[in-house]
Structure 1
Amino acid sequence: SPRHNLHIYASITSVHVAHLVVLSGGEASEDAAQEDFQYKLKGFIDSTVDKSAKTRQGALDGLKTAMATRILYEFISERRMTITDSIERCLKKGKGEEQRAAASLACLLCIQLGSGIESEEVLKTLKPIFRNILADGSANIQARQAVATSLGLCTLVAEDDILDVHATMECFENLFTRSYARADGTCPSVSPQTSQLHTNALLSWALLLTICTASQVKDILRKHLPKLPRLLESEDVNMRIAAGETIALLFELARDMDAFEFDSWDELCDKLNALATDCNKHRAKTDKRKQRSVFRDVLKAVEVRDFQSETIRFGTERMTIDSWVRKRTYDAFREFVGSGMNYHLQANEFIRDVFELGPPMLVDSATMKAMKISRFERHLHNSAAFKARTKARSKFRDKRVDVGEF
């Protein structure tokens, strides 16, 4: 029964592990485990329409865990419309945590499908619902927080029209600009929950900055760079950090355009330096430690174009996070796949395309089963579409391109 499937959630990770080792029974045992795993996933999908909200949420969480820790393209592609309908229903009729789970599942669905017609159809269905929830001040705040994050990454993966990307960014602007400090230096009074909503909106906005055209970046610089430092006055440490990292990202994009001027340089550097050495007694020690570490890096980015690079190791490979663009993109994906990030870096074609890692290397027998030749054939168009779109959006970073003056 659908309710029985809730008990499967606790065992889903162990089923995953079973796929990653050679079972004593050999090929037959592995095939049986695969069939059992898929049977349980089908049970989760069935349970998303159960009358019990608890059962529906358990099913959504089970699907989320599976998609975060496995490559399931074949299975999901065949059931894409059914899963999308379930997400839509849970977003419209569910409450709080159920809506949060559905929004996150939408993102994982797009990550599994990659960039192409399949994920575009998912976004086409869900985008109006996402935007309505985001703009509805009476909607559940947890749902709005989740949607603010999910809409950003779904747009990055699946949006095929750069003008629609900009329209989505304006939805985010309508939220985080409400946390701007006033001209007299005072901060608007917002609840911690609302501040988290604004922070999520800012981070998604920054994520979409990484795929904007040159003309859009120039417009955004004019409009927002003079005002973004006002978010550094926020009482919320997460908002201050998100604002600092977004400012560093904007400076990185602007400097790549070779036509950048900023009038309030000294004032901004003073603010960043104060946050990098913050000794404010009324702030928690952990908050101050976290803030100081981030703002030392932000200050270096603004003053001397420096970035503290980080090496990510996964399997026998490694990847360097060497820019604010790359960091924002990596952090966005990691938020959804969590501990499965290294596995996706090894085996997910789309994520490997994003980070220019080349085709997946041989990982294990379970992964190879998921990567049948038919999948490569069906995925070629999606991969080519993503690469073409990325190339078009990234053109302005080539300093040989004439982008004009501000």
Structure 2
Amino acid sequence: MGRCRKGRRTARMDDLTDDDTMSIASTVSSSDYNNGPEVEGEFDESTLMDQYVEALYQKRASMREAGLKGLIDAFTSAVLTDFAEDQCETLANRFINSIKVGSGSEIAQGARALGLLAFTAGAGSSAQQILTDATPHLWKVARVGNSPAARSSCLETLGLLAFIGASDLGATEATMETLWSIVNHTHSSEDQKTGINFPPSSARVSALMAWSLLLSTVDPRRVSSSHLQSSVSVLSGLLKNEDLAVRTAAGESIALLYEMTNSLGSAEDVEDTVDDLVPPVSTSINPRVATGARATISEDEVVEQMKTLSVHAGGKGQPKKERAVQRSSFRELLAAIEDGVAPQVSVKLPAGNALKFNSWTEIIQLNVIRRFLGEGFQTHMQGNPLLHEIFDFVPQAEKRKTLSTKEKRMLQSPNSIVSKARTEVMNRRRQNSRVQKMGGFSANGHDSD
């Protein structure tokens, strides 16, 4: 995509003090943002979108959050490539500011908006710069934040920014190691020294999914047997977690690892592998694990765990529907490990388009991106060049809407609205014609000359 260009107001706004920004939207109250018109189709960049951007400069948190919400809705309801490129630097700076100074809700929205901006601007220098600027702030929240929603959102966005904007394998691996430290974090006396808060289940799931997303982009030849063993030992422990989402995310990561190593074929293919793609854990996080306290686990043990979860759903007080979902999911994961078979997934899109997936690499990319885009997934799949490149997808043109049988019958019926309107027009023409023949009056009702 094109180079990130500074928005029209960037220079002007960056020179303002906090007091100055209070007067920028003095004529617009917070209710104007909360109750503004819904953003659909074409956007008037000079009015509503500009108001959302202006709101990001306000001291009042509710105003900034309203602006973030408006921009998130806009970015999910349409592919605003030109707007994203034109305002890229301005928007990235303001979204990062919300992550730095906001409460939990604002941080979560700021992180999500940042990811949507990267998705819209596309791969290239824009995404690379966003990744560089945002990483330290996203990581700080993910590591020591108090809000589970904010931590989860920052971890998701961190993975997606690296997926889109990492310039080389080194940058990808650095982000993977960061995410892995959350995946593998356990309670330790070092927590108080490092200031790290124990990650809630939602944050661990986000870190796992983001880590797997980045792993799916790595050449399988770099995934050595030692890396597989160290990673699976950690993931196997997470299969015992009480949270279904944690168990499922861990199982999908294991399936991806086995798919990648099974694709190598023979020992000769792995001669040039790198053993330290993702270290089991950073020594700065938990020295006990790094020194080998965690026991290794065999493939047979992993298979047995999968078999148990495919038959008996764990978790305290788990609803019957969730237990059924888990059994189905782990039967698919078990097939991937034992037989190397991935489930067949098909996604219907507008205009008769469809996406088909038959590998865990593709399925994990689909799941993470679809989860992040939410309601905007269909729109971006149809019109976003970045997603077309990721999924090797060329959308068909939108089909013209054809009339239904009922609509055709209404048009043909003598009692239809169209038929009545046509009759009224013909009657007026006949009346005007008679008046003109009489010569007494014109069609306008005035005396003729």
Same fold (TM over 0.5): yes
Q: Structure 1 stretches (4+) deviating beyond 3 angstroms?
A: 1-13, 138-141, 213-216, 259-263, 279-283, 360-365
1:124–1:138 distance in 2 versus 1, CA, 3 Å: closer
Tell me the CA shift for residue 97 of structure 1.
0.6
Q: Does 1:267 align with 2:275?
A: no
| CA–CA separation in structure 2 for the residues paired with 1:11 and 1:353 | 35
Q: 5 Å matches for 1:254-403?
A: 254-259=261-266, 264-278=298-312, 282-285=316-319, 286-315=321-350, 316-358=352-394, 360-363=395-398
- Corresponding letter in the other structure for 2:217: I
Give yes or no for contact 1:5–1:59 (8 Å, CA) kept in 2. Answer: no
- Corresponding letter in the other structure for 2:54: D
- Corresponding letter in the other structure for 2:171: D
Match of 1:197 in 2: 203
Q: Does 1:109 align with 2:96?
A: no
Count matched residues: 337
Q: Deviations over 1:144-200 (max 9, x none)?
A: 2211111001110111121111111111111111259xxxxxxxxxx9961221121
TM-score by length of 1: 0.76
1:38–1:292 distance in 2 versus 1, CA, 3 Å: farther
1:280–1:105 distance in 2 versus 1, CA, 3 Å: closer
- Corresponding letter in the other structure for 1:202: L
Higher relative helix content:
1
Query: Looking at CA atoms only, which structure, 1 or 2, has the larger radius of gyration?
Result: 2
| CA–CA separation in structure 2 for the residues paired with 1:284 and 1:333 | 27
Q: 5 Å matches for 1:9-158?
A: 13=38, 15-16=39-40, 19=41, 34-35=43-44, 39-135=47-143, 137=144, 139-158=146-165
Give yes or no for contact 1:175–1:198 (8 Å, CA) kept in 2. Answer: yes
Q: Deviations over 1:223-274 (max 9, x none)?
A: 2123321111111111111111111111111111124799823222211111
Tell me the CA shift for residue 102 of structure 1.
0.3
| CA–CA separation in structure 2 for the residues paired with 1:151 and 1:57 | 20
1:179–1:199 distance in 2 versus 1, CA, 3 Å: farther
Give yes or no for contact 2:182–2:199 (8 Å, CA) kept in 1. Answer: no
TM-score by length of 2: 0.69
Give yes or no for contact 1:179–1:234 (8 Å, CA) kept in 2. Answer: no
Tell me the CA shift for residue 11 of structure 1.
5.6
- SS of residue paired to 1:312: strand
| CA–CA separation in structure 1 for the residues paired with 2:198 and 2:89 | 36
| CA–CA separation in structure 2 for the residues paired with 1:282 and 1:93 | 37
Give yes or no for contact 1:123–1:159 (8 Å, CA) kept in 2. Answer: yes
Q: Deviations over 1:22-61 (max 9, x none)?
A: xxxxxxxxxxx643x6521111011011121111111111
Give unmatched runs, 5+ long, in structure 1: 20-32, 181-190, 366-406
Give unmatched runs, 5+ long, in structure 2: 1-24, 188-196, 271-295, 401-449
- SS of residue paired to 1:320: strand
| CA–CA separation in structure 2 for the residues paired with 1:336 and 1:9 | 23
1:223–1:280 distance in 2 versus 1, CA, 3 Å: closer
Q: Which moved more, 1:303-312 or 1:44-53?
A: 303-312
CA RMSD in angstroms comes to 2.7
Tell me the CA shift for residue 215 of structure 1.
4.9
Which one scores higher on RCO, CA 8 angstroms, separation ≥ 6?
A: 1
